[in-house]
């Protein structure tokens, strides 16, 4: 199996002549060429990134400690690729606390270095940085078993697009080094003279702290980090009560994708807060006895203690029978008495879910937004026990202003019932797994929805046609949170967006006229985020309503196109024919015959419900799954060795060749490009967008601007089509007509086409040269010689 490593460090170590001179200097001699497999050159003990953004000026300070664990000294040149399109100024660099001179290389100067490395080292990993500037400095040699602290600080001006500012810290997108980062922290301190609205990271799970409207701190920390993606943060500033931000992406000839973020104020005038009713429906059956009932009471007390002044509440407990705190809704001022009632709750008896929900619904005032928080740890054993009949009964009784949020505790819950209740009544379902604290989950949820600012919301799109929206039903908006909506659109261009809703029964309207949907290009992560949510929705529909061939086929098509592994496609990475619809149809038929109807209760059912719910509500593209055991071979499979997402594309490894999943042999005859040939570099110079795809390995098939290119060992074709849309000389470019293909020439090596390559041809490089690219990284999957 190809080896996978991680760190924020590129190590290209090719030892030339000069070992004798090193011996005369009485220094330890590096191992003879070729080195053993694997070879470890460096580790990074820590990497600390502190960013301050004040009114669009971003100052980035990077602090990292390099460790040489070897018994020989290593020399090299330090390269740090800068964010694409960034205008960097006021560069400062320190080594072990001493200022040193550093140089900012232009994109063309940096590319010359990258190209030379690719030519000499026969490794394409650096090609993903084609078109970017870089910082260059001499910070080594590093003595045997020594350490070196390297710090960089630079400034850049952030510019807005569609009202959104975008900060990027380039750390190690799709690249690896020998080991994970032992420790990494990223902190962004954001300050603005205008109110900050949207805060969104598609790359990292960040913690956000707000100290009012004009400041925020965004943080990420991790140990043993596989730093695979650049850190990306979007933010907006706006004086409006609700900020609306748009990101979009479109490929030529296809419908586009968009991401819309609606962000209300953090602090809200009490007169603008929607007065709501909250009804807690708590399971007090015997199975809740002990720690579970204690935590449930803590959660209920948290909710009651944090009501807004105009809110009302009630508590419904159920076991074999049902008990109400009061026969009508109670003012928030009486919260203490309600908490005293909660503290007296005991767990005993059966589980009468139907009567409890009907009693709660009967309390609902049709003139006020009503939130029902329903918590249970078991199946219905009293009253209506048939889930379908129970759902129908509740739907008939509940008015449209009711929002139902369901919490399942443990594994013995009816996931079909809880998910359907939430879906039918514009809420969400959450699952508290064994070992999790009920009070922490419920209190975290309520903190987000405690202050509604707009209910019954809708969006109109003037000037653009949108479809396939997720979520399909828009939730209410709450202070300090944000709505994340994804969808497809047909043709790009300017659009006017209108957000409507109600505040305390009064209609409200917000009009946004300055938004533009991309006609080409944009933010490449959006298609995969859209597909993540779409697949989550489809899998939930299949689980709740049974397998439908069309839904299964849709899941498989989306999974293959966007590299999202699902229960239907976990074995797909081992299938040969996924590049044609015929092959995918066969997979769908096999899937239908393989998977049994989903259980509604038990550990696997709860796990599936939680996982699919997370996909449907994802705010970032789905991350690659952990290694799993193949259904076909019984062997451990690391998906990252076989499936790679690059931009909006997905590639799968087949017989040593990385193949774009949009490639259909029936439609394309690929043009062969010799790896590291003159044609190879000419094509990259004309179309820098190909760099990240070619960086996958020495054998790649990619479809770009209607042309399929196949990177092969050797010279390749005598001429290569330059895509006309970006060609240096557009008059020489053309798009070949679709023809019947003879197929892709696959590789013969077991791993040479994967990321990484041969460390050879070092004679033209300085003796003992070590080239380091720090702050990003390098996927070092193999080290064959």
Question: 349 pLDDT exceeds 70?
Answer: yes
Phi, psi (5° rounding) for residue 32? -65, 155
**Separation of alpha carbons 187 and 58, rounded Å:** 12
Q: Give the residue-averaged pLDDT of 762-773.
A: 31
Q: Cα Rg for the chain, rounded, in angstroms?
A: 29
In the prediction, which pLDDT does 570 show? 63
- What pLDDT does 716 receive? 66
Segment among 31-35, 125-129, 580-584, 644-648 with least mean pLDDT: 31-35
> Dihedrals φ, ψ of 732, to 5°?
-95, -5
Residue range 274-297: mean pLDDT, rounded: 93
pLDDT, one tens digit per residue, over 230-269 is: 899 999 998 888 999 999 999 988 999 999 999 998 877 7
Lowest mean pLDDT among 169-178, 236-245, 582-591, 759-768: 759-768
Distance of CA 124 to the CA centre of its chain: 25
* Closest CA relative to residue 116, chosen from 32, 41, 12, 15: 12
Taking CB atoms within 8 Å and a gap of at least 24, the contacts of 423-429 are 423/540, 423/544, 424/391, 424/394, 424/395, 425/372, 425/394, 425/395, 425/398, 426/473, 426/475, 426/476, 427/372, 427/403, 428/475, 428/613, 428/617, 429/405, 429/609, 429/613
* Percent of residues, the chain, with pLDDT higher than 70: 81
Q: Which residue has the higher pLDDT, 340 or 601?
A: 340
Range of weakest confidence among 210-214, 247-251, 294-298, 314-318: 210-214
pLDDT reported for residue 239: 87
Tokens standing for residue 597: 């109807």
pLDDT, tens digit, 9 for 90 and up, residues 371-387:
999 999 989 999 999 99
Mean pLDDT score, 34-59: 75
Q: Could you tell me which of 551, 554, 558 has the C-alpha nearest to residue 527?
A: 558
When pLDDT is cut at 50, 70 and 90, the band that residue 86 belongs to is confident
In this structure, the chain runs to a length of: 785
User: What is the average pLDDT score of the chain?
Assistant: 80
Say yes or no to pLDDT of 632 above 70: no
Q: pTM of this prediction?
A: 0.82
Give yes or no for residue 770 having a pLDDT over 70. Answer: no
Instruction: Kindly report, residue by residue over 499-514, the tens digit of the pLDDT.
Output: 999 887 889 999 999 8
Residue 33 confidence (pLDDT) above 80? no
Higher pLDDT, 676 or 742: 676
Strand partners, 704: 707
pLDDT of residue 209: 92
- For residue 590 the two structure tokens come to 């096999």
Let me know: does 533 contact 564? Beta carbons within 8 Å: no
Mind listing the pLDDT tens digit for each residue in 424-480? Answer: 999 999 999 988 899 999 998 998 888 888 889 999 999 999 999 999 999 999 988
Confidence of residue 488 (pLDDT cuts 50, 70, 90): very high
What pLDDT is attached to residue 631?
A: 59
Q: CA 75, CA 66: separation in Å to the nearest integer?
A: 13
Which of 136-145, 178-187, 486-495, 673-682 has the largest mean confidence? 486-495
Tokens of 699: 């054998």
Is 80 exceeded by the pLDDT of residue 720?
no
pLDDT at 576: 56
Q: 2 vs 754, which has greater pLDDT?
A: 754
Per-residue pLDDT band at 310 (split at 50, 70, 90): very high
Q: Is the pLDDT of residue 750 over 70?
A: no
pLDDT band at 131 (very low <50, low <70, confident <90, very high): confident
* Residue (of 599, 604, 560) closest to 579 by Cα position: 560
Q: What is the mean pLDDT of residues 508-524?
A: 92
pLDDT of residue 550: 86
Instruction: Average the pLDDT over 299-327 and give the result.
Output: 94
Low-confidence winner among 28-32, 332-336, 719-723 (lowest mean pLDDT): 28-32
Q: Are 140 and 78 in contact (CB under 8 A)?
A: yes
More confident site: 265 or 532: 532
pLDDT (mean) for 102-127: 82
> 36: Cβ–Cβ under 8 A, 6 or more apart, which residues?
none
707-712 vs 671-674, strand pairing mode: parallel
Residue 219 has pLDDT above 70, yes or no: yes
Confidence class of residue 318 from pLDDT cuts 50, 70 and 90?
very high
* pLDDT band of 705, cuts 50, 70, 90: confident
Between CA 177 and CA 773 the distance in angstroms is 10
> Which residue in 74, 43, 3, 13 sits closest to 179, CA to CA?
43
The band of 572, judged by pLDDT with boundaries at 50, 70 and 90, is low
pLDDT at 627: 65
pLDDT (average), residues 313-339: 95
């Amino acid at each position: 199996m190809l080896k996978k490593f991680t760190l924020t460090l590129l190590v290209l170590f090719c030892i030339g002549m000069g070992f004798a001179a090193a011996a005369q200097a009485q220094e330890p001699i590096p191992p003879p060429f070729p080195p053993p497999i694997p070879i470890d050159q460096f580790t990074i003990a820590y990497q600390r990134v502190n960013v301050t953004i004040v009114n669009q000026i971003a100052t980035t300070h990077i602090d990292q400690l390099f460790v040489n664990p070897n018994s020989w000294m290593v020399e090299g040149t330090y390269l740090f690729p800068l964010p694409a399109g960034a205008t960097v100024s006021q560069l400062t660099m320190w080594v072990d606390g001493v200022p040193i001179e550093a140089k900012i290389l232009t994109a063309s100067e940096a590319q010359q270095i990258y190209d030379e490395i690719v030519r000499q080292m026969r490794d394409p990993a650096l090609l993903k940085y084609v078109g970017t500037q870089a910082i260059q400095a001499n910070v080594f040699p590093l003595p045997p078993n020594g350490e070196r602290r390297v710090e960089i600080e630079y400034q850049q001006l952030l510019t807005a697009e569609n009202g959104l500012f975008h900060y990027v810290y380039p750390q190690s997108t799709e690249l690896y080094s020998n080991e994970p980062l032992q420790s990494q922290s990223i902190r962004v301190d954001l300050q603005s003279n205008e109110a900050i609205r949207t805060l969104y990271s598609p790359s990292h799970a960040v913690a956000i702290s707000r100290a009012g409207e004009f400041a925020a701190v965004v943080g990420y920390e991790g140990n043993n980090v596989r730093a695979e993606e650049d850190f990306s943060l979007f933010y907006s500033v706006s004086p409006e009560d609700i900020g609306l931000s748009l990101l979009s992406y479109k490929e030529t000839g296809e419908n586009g994708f968009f991401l819309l973020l609606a962000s209300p104020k953090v602090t809200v005038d009490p007169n603008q807060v929607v007065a709501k009713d909250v009804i807690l429906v708590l399971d007090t059956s015997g199975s809740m006895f002990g720690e579970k009932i204690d935590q449930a009471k803590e959660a209920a007390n948290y909710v009651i203690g944090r009501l807004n002044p105009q809110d009302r509440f009630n508590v419904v407990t159920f076991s074999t029978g049902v008990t109400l705190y009061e026969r009508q809704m109670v003012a928030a001022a009486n919260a203490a008495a309600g908490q005293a009632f909660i503290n007296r709750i005991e767990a005993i008896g059966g589980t009468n879910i139907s009567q409890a929900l009907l009693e709660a619904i009967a309390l609902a005032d049709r003139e006020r937004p009503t939130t029902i928080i329903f918590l249970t740890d078991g199946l219905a054993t009293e009253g209506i026990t048939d889930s379908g009949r129970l759902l129908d009964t509740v739907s008939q009784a509940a008015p449209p202003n009711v929002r139902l949020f369901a919490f399942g505790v443990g594994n013995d819950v009816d996931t079909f019932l809880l998910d359907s209740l939430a879906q039918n009544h514009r809420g969400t379902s959450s699952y508290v797994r064994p070992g999790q604290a009920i009070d922490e989950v419920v209190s975290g949820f309520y903190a987000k929805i405690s202050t509604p600012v707009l209910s019954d919301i809708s969006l109109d799109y003037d000037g653009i046609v949108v479809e396939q929206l997720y979520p399909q039903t828009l939730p209410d908006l709450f202070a300090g949170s944000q709505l994340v909506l994804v969808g497809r659109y047909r043709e790009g261009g300017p659009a006017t967006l209108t957000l409507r809703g109600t505040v305390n029964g009064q209609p409200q309207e917000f009009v946004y006229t300055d938004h533009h949907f991309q006609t080409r290009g944009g933010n490449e992560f959006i298609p995969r985020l859209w597909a993540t949510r779409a697949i989550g929705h489809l899998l939930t529909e299949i689980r709740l309503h049974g397998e439908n061939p069309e839904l299964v086929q849709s899941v498989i098509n989306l999974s293959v196109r966007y590299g999202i592994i699902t229960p239907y496609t976990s074995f797909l990475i081992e299938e040969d024919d996924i590049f044609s619809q015929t092959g995918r149809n066969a997979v769908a038929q096999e899937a239908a015959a393989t998977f049994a109807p989903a259980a509604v209760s038990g550990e696997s059912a709860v796990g599936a419900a939680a996982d699919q719910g997370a996909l449907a509500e994802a705010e970032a593209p789905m991350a690659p799954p952990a290694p799993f055991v193949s259904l076909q071979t019984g062997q451990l499979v690391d998906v990252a060795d076989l499936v790679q997402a690059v931009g909006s594309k997905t590639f799968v490894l087949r017989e040593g060749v990385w193949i774009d999943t949009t490639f259909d042999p029936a439609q394309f005859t690929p043009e062969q490009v010799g790896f590291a040939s003159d044609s190879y570099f000419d094509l990259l110079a004309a179309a820098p967008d190909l760099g990240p795809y070619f960086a996958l390995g020495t054998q790649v098939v990619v479809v770009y601007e209607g042309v399929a290119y196949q990177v092969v060992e050797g010279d390749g074709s005598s001429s290569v089509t330059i895509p006309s849309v970006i060609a240096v000389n557009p008059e020489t470019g053309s798009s070949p007509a679709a023809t019947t293909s003879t197929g892709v020439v696959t590789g013969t090596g077991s791993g040479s086409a994967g990321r990484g390559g041969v460390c050879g041809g070092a004679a033209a490089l300085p003796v003992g040269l070590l080239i380091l690219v720090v702050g990003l990284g390098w996927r070092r999957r193999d080290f064959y010689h």
